[in-house]
Amino acid sequence: MKIFLSRFFLMSITVLALASSLKAASPSLGGIGPRGWQRGTEVELTFTGARLTDAKELLFYRKGIETTKMTVVSDTQVKAMVKISPEAGLGEYGIRVRTATGISELRTFYVGALPVIEEKEPNSEFATPQKIPMNVTVHGVANNEDADYFLVEAKKGERISAEVEGMRLGTVVFDPFVAIFNMKRFELSARDDSPLTGQDCFASIVAPEDGQYVILVRESAYGGNGNCTYRLHIGNFPRPTGVFPTGGKAGEEIEVTYLGDPT
């Protein structure tokens, strides 16, 4: 019995040591930048982490994205050119880095319908917003005690929608806030959380008059940091909050009504 227990103990130690060794050799993926891009285009992605020297390929969990070039910059960084098909589905894509010694954790990347622009400072005051066109996605960061303002123009009766992907990006615990103002700083719409998107939020109005409007994005308690990246979609697209009926029988066609649109 003592011999059996000794052998079992030694075997357990060996297995644990082997598992620890394999884990130490496996790559670690900490982040991807940018966090999303427009379908039908190409973009260079930067992957940061550890033990990436022997990176071989990117593993995508949905069809629609292919790697055209990959360069190992250092043990902690890999750059890759990826091509996003015009037919690629919108939304979240899981990505891993495969190296000669293992496979990294899964991180997410978003495919969108709108062209992407970068947030540019200074835009932290209502008086100095970043002017942007309608129907774009802004890739930004909500730093500590930061407020990001964006300026758009709209005609009377035109829809203005603003939706933030922050928590859904899965980087850190990030609770964004979004609001739409007129140029007199009167708040026309503001949202923190949403039953549909959880801690992420969206606001939508119909412009009451021709003119300029300001959109604000920040961490809800002004507690952001350099890891609080977000994708802000701004445009004249509709933003329903639900559908009715909420389901149907498999194989049958049903007519649904979108709910919650401002028009």
> What integer pLDDT is reported at residue 171 of this predicted model?
82
Q: Tokens 């407020």 — which residue? A: 147
Percentage of the chain with pLDDT > 70?
A: 90
Per-residue pLDDT reduced to its tens digit, 49-92: 999 999 999 999 999 999 999 999 999 999 999 999 999 999 99
> What integer pLDDT is reported at residue 15 of this predicted model?
46
> What integer pLDDT is reported at residue 2 of this predicted model?
54
17: CB partners within 8 A, 6+ apart? none
Per-residue pLDDT reduced to its tens digit, 8-26: 555 555 544 444 444 557 9
Per-residue pLDDT reduced to its tens digit, 168-183: 998 888 999 999 999 9
> What integer pLDDT is reported at residue 246 of this predicted model?
87
C-beta separation of 229 from 148 below 8 A: no
Rounded CA separation 260/177 (Å): 19
Domains (ranges, CATH) in the chain? 27-112 (2.60.40.10), 116-241 (2.60.120.380)
Rounded CA separation 212/218 (Å): 20
Q: Where are the beta strands (DSSP E) in 85-129?
A: 91-99, 102-103, 107-112, 116-118
For 199-211, give the DSSP string. Answer: T-EEEEEE-SSSE
pLDDT band for 241, please (50, 70, 90 cuts). confident
Per-residue pLDDT reduced to its tens digit, 178-236: 999 999 999 999 999 887 788 899 999 999 999 999 999 999 999 999 999 999 999 99
Read off the pTM: 0.84
